Structures are given as structure tokens and as C-alpha cells.
């Protein structure tokens, strides 16, 4: 079991982030915020896919006006994504944002940040403060050499946290973003060692889904396995449902997400496979769409290793030539011809 890092707990609407609270999946809407109907539709799809927080960009006044309407139409806490304008942050807070994502480095005046903090305090809005590797510059606005960036990002974060704490604000979530896997791991470890606020994990500019999922899984998975990370977002140039699915898979692989649907385990296949396992697994996967329980089902190619490797499956099929052996929790329950494997499996699944 992953031992989660002890942190302060931060309330984002009805969702709690931090410590032993479940790691929260979030994603962002990718339709214009002013298109309220499409935005609401995408938010509802994200919730159905497993998001418990949804972030929306509000770059203009029209967006925060739309944000206020969207908040009233959905049943999930919304995060306003603000970059440069303190006014947008305050408008979003007044519009009902449960959390605001802010990069204080992008807001020039200290007074403006203090006004945002005061508004957040008044409306019980959480704030995620972020430092981004790409925006770390020296005093002459020159890019910083790689080896110095982690230290500077941490220094920057300390400065922001101090500003919020001096204003007696502690509903903070911290994030440090990089597009590099190793630096993402390193900076988040440093932040976890330094602060006891919940951490938002993500890898920026991760690419198309096929390019994004492995780097994201390595960076986020490494940190989560160490107990670091309280809310995650996988970034991919794709429909946010795909981001959510990848995030869910990362959490499931670490035992950090309680699935509600069946899990299908398939052996990697070798020359011992008694029948076409890819075809059989495809048929089982299709059949499992009708089941809405978190059952573990295994499809194994042979009886040499299959029964042992599938011993903790609720149901397993281990193939032999033209037939299949069915196992329930590691115990053999029947032998059926290949044509009867799927109907028998479904019958047994229904019993469970
Ligand atoms: S279960 Fe059997 S067929 Fe599948 S990989 Fe293992 S040994 Fe090979």
C-alpha cells in the first residue's frame, strides 16, 4: 500500500485534498468558456469519467461572467485558471470558484495578490499557487541554467508561501511544473520535504496522448508511489476524457483508485498459448461492458503458469487446445469447449 504524505487538508467545495483523502483526479475543459452549454456538457462528461474537480480557463471578463453561470449548472467544484489578471481571479472567486489556480509570478503587484488572498478568504476559496520551470528567469530576465532551476523554483515557492501565510491564508495547494520527467520528480520531492501543504502533480506540455502517457505515468507514478501528490492532472493534446482515463490508470496501477468497473488481466502470451488469446481477450472485454462491479477477470494462455498467475482473479480462463478451464478465486470450477468459454464466463460472472 502507498503510504501517503501527511499534509494540511484543503477543502475545495465538498472535495477534500491532502493527507489520507483519496488522490483527486482533475482535468480542464477544452471548449470556449463562453460557450456555456458545451462547457457544461464537457464538465459532466469529465465527472462521469472520474474527475472530481474541473478547471476552466477564464482569460477575459466574458469568461468569468460565463463561469458564474456554469458554476450554477454543474455538480462538481470548479477551479478558475487565472494567469495574469488579478481582476479575473477576484471575479472568479466572487462567481463561486471553489479554487483558483494562480502563478503569483505572473501578477506584478504585491497588493494585487493580497487583494486576491482577501477575496479568497472571504469566500472560502482555496488557491493553488504554482511555479513553472519555463517562467523561472534571473534578474536580467535571462533563462536559468538547468542545474540551478530546481533551487530557484523552490526559492520562488518559499517566497509565495510566505506571502500567503503572512496574510493568514493556509488553504493552499502547491504545484511546480516542468516538462521534464526527472526535474518534475526532483522539484516535487523538494516541495514535499519543505512544506506540509497538499501538492498538485502534473507534467506540462506532455504531447499527444501516445507521447504523453508514459512520461506522465513515470513522473506522477514515481511521486505517488512515494506518497507525494494529492491531486493530479495528466496533460495531453487531446480530449480531456483521455487525460482523465490516463490519470485513472496511473492511480489504479498504484492501488490509489477504487474502480467501479471490472478489471481485465491478460497474459502477455507465448508459444504455450492454447488458443488465440488476443481474440478471446477482445471478446471477454466486450462481454465485461455489461458488468458494473469491480471484479477481476483474467484471460491466460495456458495451464502451465495461468492458474498461479491468475490466482487472485475473481474468475479466470486458462486456455488449452480448443478448450478453456475456468477458475474462481484460484479454484478450478469447470472445463468448457472454446465456443462455450464466453457464455460460461458470463454465467459465472452473473453469479458473482
Ligand atoms: S500464461 Fe501461459 S501462454 Fe500466457 S504467457 Fe504465461 S506461459 Fe505463456
SS3 breakdown of the chain: % helix, strand, coil, rounded to 5? 45, 20, 35
In this predicted structure, what is the pLDDT of residue 108? 81
More confident residue, 66 or 286: 66
In this predicted structure, what is the pLDDT of residue 89? 97
pLDDT band with cut points at 50, 70 and 90 for residue 3: very high
> How many whole angstroms separate alpha carbon 306 and alpha carbon 301?
7
Burial of residue 147 (number of CB atoms within 10 Å: 0-12, 13-18, 19+): exposed
Neighbours of 187 (CB within 10 A): 23
Q: Can you spell out the DSSP letters for 242-277?
A: HHHHHHHHHHHHTT-S--SS-EEEE----TT-SS-H
Neighbours of 62 (CB within 10 A): 12
Mutating to test ligand 1, I would choose from 274, 275, 302 the residue with most ligand atoms within 8 A of its C-beta, which is: 302
Strands 15-17 and 10-12: antiparallel
Which stretches within 50-178 are classed as H helix?
Answer: 61-73, 86-95, 110-123, 146-166
pLDDT digits (tens, 9 = 90+) for 12-48: 999 999 999 999 999 999 999 999 999 999 999 999 9
Domains along the chain? 10-253 (3.20.20.20), 263-351 (3.30.413.10)
In this predicted structure, what is the pLDDT of residue 140? 59
Q: How far, in Å, from the CA of 42 to the mean position of ligand 1?
A: 41
In this predicted structure, what is the pLDDT of residue 105? 83
In this predicted structure, what is the pLDDT of residue 141? 66
* Average pLDDT for 222-248: 96
pLDDT band with cut points at 50, 70 and 90 for residue 258: confident
Burial of residue 186 (number of CB atoms within 10 Å: 0-12, 13-18, 19+): middle
- The answer to whether 174 and 161 have CB atoms below 8 angstroms apart is yes
Give the CA-trace dihedral at 94, 96, 100, 105, to 10 degrees.
-10
Edge to edge, the sheet with strand 78-81 lists 172-177, 126-132, 99-102, 78-81, 53-57, 24-28, 231-232, 200-201
Residue 70 pLDDT greater than 80, yes or no: yes
Residue 139 pLDDT greater than 80, yes or no: no
- Mark 18-31 as b/e (b = at least 16 C-beta within 10 Å): beebbbbbbbbbbb
pTM over 0.75: yes
- The answer to whether 317 and 341 have CB atoms below 8 angstroms apart is yes
pLDDT band with cut points at 50, 70 and 90 for residue 311: confident
Residue 117 pLDDT greater than 90, yes or no: yes
Q: How far, in Å, from the CA of 38 to the mean position of ligand 1?
A: 47
Residue 147 pLDDT greater than 80, yes or no: no
Please give the mean pLDDT across all residues of the chain.
Answer: 93
Q: How many angstroms separate the first and last alpha carbons of the chain?
A: 26
Strands 331-337 and 323-328: antiparallel
C-alpha cell at position 184 = 518534475
Q: Return the top range by mean pLDDT from 5-19, 139-153, 298-312.
A: 5-19
In this predicted structure, what is the pLDDT of residue 6? 96
> How many whole angstroms separate alpha carbon 265 and alpha carbon 334?
20
More confident residue, 262 or 274: 262
> How many whole angstroms separate alpha carbon 313 and alpha carbon 311?
6
Q: Whose CA is nearest to atom 7 of ligand 1?
A: 305
Residue 145 pLDDT greater than 80, yes or no: no
Residue 143 pLDDT greater than 80, yes or no: no
> How many whole angstroms separate alpha carbon 1 and alpha carbon 225?
9
> How many whole angstroms separate alpha carbon 6 and alpha carbon 197?
9
> How many whole angstroms separate alpha carbon 87 and alpha carbon 65?
12
Q: Whose CA is nearest to atom 5 of ligand 1?
A: 269
Atom of ligand 1 nearest to the CA of 300: 1
- Residues having CB within 6 Å of any atom of ligand 1: 267-270, 272-273, 300-302, 304-306
Residue owning grid cell 533551487? 151
Residue 267 pLDDT greater than 70, yes or no: yes
Q: How far, in Å, from the CA of 327 to the mean position of ligand 1?
A: 16
Q: Whose CA is nearest to atom 8 of ligand 1?
A: 270
Atom of ligand 1 nearest to the CA of 272: 3
> How many whole angstroms separate alpha carbon 177 and alpha carbon 149?
11
Q: How far, in Å, from the CA of 303 to the mean position of ligand 1?
A: 8
pLDDT digits (tens, 9 = 90+) for 80-95: 999 889 999 999 999 9
More confident residue, 306 or 345: 345
Amino acid at each position: 500500500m502507498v503510504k501517503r504524505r501527511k499534509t494540511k487538508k484543503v477543502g475545495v467545495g465538498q472535495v477534500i485534498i491532502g493527507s489520507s483523502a483519496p488522490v483527486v483526479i482533475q482535468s480542464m475543459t477544452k471548449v470556449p468558456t463562453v460557450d456555456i452549454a458545451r462547457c457544461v456538457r464537457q464538465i459532466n462528461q469529465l465527472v462521469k469519467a472520474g474527475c472530481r474537480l474541473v478547471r476552466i480557463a477564464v482569460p477575459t471578463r466574458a469568461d468569468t461572467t460565463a463561469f458564474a453561470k456554469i458554476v450554477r449548472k454543474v455538480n462538481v467544484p470548479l477551479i478558475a485558471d487565472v494567469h495574469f489578471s488579478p481582476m479575473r481571479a477576484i471575479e472568479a472567486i466572487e462567481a463561486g470558484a471553489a479554487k483558483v489556480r494562480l502563478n503569483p509570478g505572473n501578477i506584478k503587484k504585491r497588493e494585487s495578490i493580497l487583494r486576491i488572498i482577501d477575496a479568497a478568504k472571504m469566500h472560502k476559496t482555496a488557491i493553488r499557487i504554482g511555479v513553472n520551470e519555463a517562467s523561472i528567469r534571473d534578474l536580467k530576465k535571462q533563462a536559468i541554467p538547468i542545474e540551478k532551476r530546481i533551487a530557484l523554483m523552490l526559492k520562488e515557492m518559499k517566497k509565495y508561501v510566505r506571502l500567503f501565510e503572512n496574510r493568514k491564508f493556509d488553504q493552499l495547494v502547491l504545484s511546480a511544473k516542468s516538462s521534464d520527467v526527472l526535474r518534475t520528480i526532483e522539484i516535487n520531492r523538494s516541495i514535499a520535504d519543505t512544506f506540509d501543504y497538499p501538492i498538485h502533480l502534473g507534467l506540462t506540455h506532455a504531447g499527444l496522448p501516445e507521447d504523453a502517457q508514459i512520461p506522465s505515468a513515470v513522473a506522477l507514478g514515481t511521486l505517488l508511489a512515494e506518497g507525494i501528490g494529492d491531486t493530479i492532472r495528466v496533460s495531453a493534446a487531446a480530449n480531456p476524457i483521455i487525460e482523465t482515463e490516463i490519470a485513472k490508470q496511473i492511480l489504479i496501477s498504484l492501488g490509489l483508485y477504487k474502480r467501479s468497473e471490472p478489471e481485465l488481466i491478460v497474459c502477455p502470451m507465448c508459444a504455450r498459448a492454447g488458443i488465440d488469446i488476443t481474440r478471446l481477450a477482445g471478446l471477454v472485454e466486450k462481454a465485461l461492458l455489461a458488468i458494473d462491479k469491480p471484479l477481476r477477470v483474467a484471460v491466460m494462455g495456458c495451464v502451465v503458469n495461468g492458474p498461479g498467475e491468475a490466482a487472485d482473479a475473481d474468475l479466470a480462463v486458462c486456455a488449452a487446445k480448443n478448450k478453456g478451464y475456468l477458475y474462481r478465486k484460484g479454484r478450478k470450477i469447470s472445463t468448457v469447449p472454446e465456443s462455450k468459454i464466453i457464455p460460461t464466463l458470463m454465467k459465472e460472472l452473473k453469479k458473482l
